[in-house]
Amino acid sequence: MSEDKDLGDKAKDALGDAKEKAKETYEDVKEEAKEFAEEAKETAKEFTQGAKEAFNSQDNKKIMAGILAILLGALGIHKFILGYNKEGIIMLLITVVLGFLTCGIGASAMGIVGLIEGIIYLTKSDAEFYNTYQVGKKPWF
């Protein structure tokens, strides 16, 4: 019988040790999960901030330039938006001078150029647009 009692006491001790170890492990896992969640929140916050800055920065002018090229392409306003002042002046002068001399035919030709450029701008990916027109400084088409 004492053997049974010793065995029972050993089982109770082992159960107590297992409970204690489980409690310690639970606390450790809980702390690590809390730290991980805080790091994830911080990373998400940094990513969101970076995305907002990229969206609001002057570096990404694709949509504005594309829409202006389609709507007012003959005037070359989209060229000025992208920083191509010489090309914008050329388009504006061709539109005004040829528009006056040819009763609008020359202006419509520049309008077609603007329409084509606007479609090209809007169909490119953001990275491709940025690399081609803002970094690479490709002024035409």
Over the chain (141 residues), what is each successive 10-residue block's mean pLDDT?
Answer: 67 82 85 79 73 57 91 91 91 88 82 93 89 81 71
Q: Give pLDDT, residue 89.
A: 92
Three-state SS at 119: helix
Q: Give pLDDT, residue 54.
A: 57
Tell me the C-alpha distance between 67 and 87, whole Å.
18
Tell me the C-alpha distance between 131 and 120, whole Å.
14
Q: Give pLDDT, residue 38.
A: 83
CA 88, 83, 134, 68 torsion-angle sign: negative
DSSP codes of every residue in 47-88: HHHHHHHHHHSTT--HHHHHHHHHHHGGGTHHHHHTT-HHHH
Tell me the C-alpha distance between 75 and 94, whole Å.
9
Q: Give pLDDT, residue 122.
A: 92
Q: Give pLDDT, residue 140.
A: 79
Q: Give pLDDT, residue 119.
A: 95
